[in-house]
Amino acid sequence: MKKTNNGESRGATLKEILAYLKPYHFPILLSALLALISVAISIYVPIRIGNAIDLIVGIGNVDKKNILYILLEIAVFILISAFATFTMTKINNRVTYGVTRDMRNETFKKLQTLPISYIDKHPHGDLVSRMISDVDQFADGLLLGFTQLFTGLLTIVGTLVFMIVLDYRIAIVVFLLTPLSLFIARFIATRTHAMFLAQSAAKGEQTALIDEMIGNQKLVHAFGYEKRAIERFEKANNMLYGASLKALYFSSLTNPTTRFINNVIYAAVALVGGYTCIATLDTATPFTIGMLSAMLVYVNQYTKPFNEISGVITEFQNAIACAERIFALRDAESEAPDGEDTSELSAKGAVAFENISFSYTEDKPLIRNISLDLKAGSHIAIVGPTGCGKTTLINLLMRFYDVNAGRILIDGKDVRSYTKKSLRDSFGMVLQDSWVSSATVAENIAIGRPDATREQIIDAAKKTHAHSFIKRLPNGYDTQIGEGGILLSAGQKQLLSITRVMLLSPPMLILDEATSSIDTRTELLIQKAFSRLMEGRTSFIVAHRLSTIRDADVILVMKDGNIIESGSHEQLLKKEGFYKKLYFSQFSGASEEE
């Protein structure tokens, strides 16, 4: 049953690969025509070489004129064959890397539609490995197939026909012995597919680990994690070593085994051919030395593609294994689509939660039966211990995840009745982990509003007090900040994130620890800027520093996925409940659990 499933899987993968090749049908046909020309010439030339050998009939009796003519003819055909092969190779390269370009484009587009849950559950390095390493491996196998598979098949058929014409008995010997090569190649290839899948998976795990370690190198050094990082890498590296060694060792058995069989065939043809030359010497239709020479060339030409095809099969098994991983990512279920009755959201900002429940996994419920009714323009702070569900509540509001039960309403309508784009465009979000791209400062600020003028960008930066540090950068707003904003501090990156939202000026705001990396003086200035920005806008503020949310209209206190208290700062202090313990623990140093 397993073999059947594997066969069905490979068959489905091959169909998908053929679908990618469909737009390139004309170049592929042209490549096939050029391959036909090249093969036809390579088959014709040995006949002419044999003819030239037969013109050497003894000392002083060599037909030099006709031999020279044949040699010139061969030279012309070789030049034509070389040009056809060169052009065919160029076309094959264009088709192969065109297909891989299309594959990467489609896979990256798919990545933008995947739900956050998929990204959270898969190591980022593994996703990168599928798009980079696996696509490269697939390209190598596809290029090898284009270059050698079709040409090899034509050569096998053509040389077999010519061998039958020269001497059908010798041709039968070759024909009967050669399938042994194919049998061995197929036997090995079918057993290496799973090995190449394991190799690709091991590469993905190693890439994920490298990505994790490079991205957190400061913490690795700060916590003395170097030794354990090396141990983890050595373990992953040994897994890749073992998987690669196993796959390549067994796949490499194909070539020497088929070469041995081919050499046996060559020796058999030489013996039978030599005997035939002697036996037919005095007959009306002798088997000449020239014909034997041509036959030996044909044997090499006939058996060589079997070696190449066996190599192609091995590489193609690797390519299919890589393609399966790529297609698994591409075919993953996308984010739930917008419904047919969805409308554009032009938010006033009234938000309601009606008995919502949610869990990331079925066995671990997180949010249970939360109900709230928040007026438009109100400022809502969400506080509580780590892991209580604060950020999850924001994820549900933005539809990064959908509730398992209940409804979230904005302006009286279920958020699922709005298009995702209009819903998310209605929120300006500043997260604790600031994301910046390897572009200029101005381009980073204008990510949500690419048509913004330089004056508008500068005005937003002045409001968030980012303008002063931007001016000090080497090229001001045109400074390239490098991958991950390497030229900026954590606080500066957070200021850019805040400026980005200030420029966008959305109807609703989400501030998730938005000032956690900013010094106290700048934070006070930012709070003033936020106060101006939040005027008349519904705002959700997730904060650990409770001193920053005392002016919120409503403070929601969460614990273990439930809202256990709600009210203003003064009201919650008077209740002398969990909020008061949290609030005063930040000044006394007491534990949140006390």
Task: Read off φ and ψ for residue 122, nearest 5 degrees.
Answer: -115, 135
**Can you tell me the mean pLDDT for 220-227?**
72
Report the candidate in 193, 217, 21, 187 with the shortest Cα–Cα distance to residue 103.
21
Q: What is the CATH number of domain 11-330?
A: 1.20.1560.10
Whole-model pTM: value is: 0.63
Element (H, E) at 352: strand 351-358
> Which of 97-101, 184-188, 485-489 is modeled with the greatest confidence?
97-101
pLDDT at 82: 93
CA dihedral 216, 218, 220, 221 (to 10 degrees): 170
Both structure tokens of 493: 């990156």
Q: How confident is the model at residue 457 (pLDDT cuts 50, 70, 90)?
A: very high
Spacing of C-alpha 84 from chain mean position: 35
**Strand pairing class (379-383; 554-559):** parallel
Sign of the torsion angle spanned by Cα atoms 95, 99, 102, 104? negative
Answer for the pair 387, 313: CB distance below 8 angstroms, yes or no.
Answer: no
Report the candidate in 550, 587, 585 with the shortest Cα–Cα distance to residue 567.
550
Determine the residue type at 138: F
Every domain of the chain and the residues it spans = 11-330, 344-426+538-594
pLDDT at 72: 94
Q: How confident is the model at residue 75 (pLDDT cuts 50, 70, 90)?
A: very high
Answer for the pair 544, 550: CB distance below 8 angstroms, yes or no.
Answer: no
Task: Read off φ and ψ for residue 561, nearest 5 degrees.
Answer: 80, 5
pLDDT at 129 over 60: yes
**Can you tell me the mean pLDDT for 94-104?**
87
Q: How confident is the model at residue 454 (pLDDT cuts 50, 70, 90)?
A: very high
Condensed to tens digits (0 to 9), the pLDDT of residues 529-578 reads 677 777 778 888 887 767 667 788 888 888 887 888 888 888 888 888 88
pLDDT at 92 over 90: no
Answer for the pair 381, 579: CB distance below 8 angstroms, yes or no.
Answer: no
pLDDT at 332: 83
pLDDT at 172: 84
What's the CA gap between 18 and 11, in Å, rounded? 11
Both structure tokens of 384: 């509580």
3-state SS class at 403? coil
Sign of the torsion angle spanned by Cα atoms 414, 418, 420, 421? negative
**Can you tell me the mean pLDDT for 480-484?**
76
What's the CA gap between 181 and 551, in Å, rounded? 81
CA dihedral 486, 487, 492, 496 (to 10 degrees): -80
CB atoms within 10 A of CB 57: 11
How many separate helices (H) and strands (E) can be counted in the chain? Answer: 22, 10
Condensed to tens digits (0 to 9), the pLDDT of residues 35-57 reads 899 989 988 898 888 888 888 86
pLDDT at 192: 76
pLDDT at 76: 95
In the chain, what are the helix, strand and coil shares in percent, each to the nearest 5?
Answer: 65, 10, 25
Question: CB neighbours of 382 closer than 8 A, spacing ≥ 6?
Answer: 390, 393, 394, 540, 541, 542, 543, 555, 556, 558
Please give the full DSSP string across 16-38, using - where no structure is assigned: HHHHHHGGGHHHHHHHHHHHHHH
Condensed to tens digits (0 to 9), the pLDDT of residues 497-525 reads 888 888 888 888 888 876 665 667 767 76
Question: CB neighbours of 317 closer than 8 A, spacing ≥ 6?
Answer: 189, 192, 193, 196, 251
Condensed to tens digits (0 to 9), the pLDDT of residues 242-292 reads 888 888 777 777 777 777 877 888 888 888 888 888 888 777 778 888 888
pLDDT at 402: 86
Q: Residue 364 gets which letter from DSSP?
A: B
What's the CA gap between 102 and 349, in Å, rounded? 42
Residues, the chain = 594
pLDDT at 400: 84
Both structure tokens of 41: 């010439």
Condensed to tens digits (0 to 9), the pLDDT of residues 169-188 reads 888 878 887 777 777 777 77
pLDDT at 592 over 50: no
pLDDT at 79 over 90: yes
pLDDT at 87 over 90: yes
Sheet holding 351-358, edge to edge: 367-374, 351-358, 405-410, 413-414
**Can you tell me the mean pLDDT for 207-228?**
73
How large a percentage of the chain has pLDDT more than 70?
89
pLDDT at 159: 87
Both structure tokens of 143: 């290029």
pLDDT at 222: 65
Question: CB neighbours of 302 closer than 8 A, spacing ≥ 6?
Answer: 155, 156, 159, 160, 163, 174, 178
Lowest-confidence region among 80-94, 327-341, 413-427: 327-341
Spacing of C-alpha 64 from chain mean position: 62
Q: What is the CATH number of domain 344-426+538-594?
A: 3.40.50.300
pLDDT at 591: 41
Sort 296 into a burial class: Cβ within 10 Å, 0-12 / 13-18 / 19+: middle
**Which residue do the tokens 């009286």 mark?**
412
Task: Read off φ and ψ for residue 323, nearest 5 degrees.
Answer: -60, -40
Partnered with residue 382 across adjacent β-strands are 542, 556
Q: How confident is the model at residue 455 (pLDDT cuts 50, 70, 90)?
A: very high
Answer for the pair 81, 38: CB distance below 8 angstroms, yes or no.
Answer: yes
CB atoms within 10 A of CB 190: 15
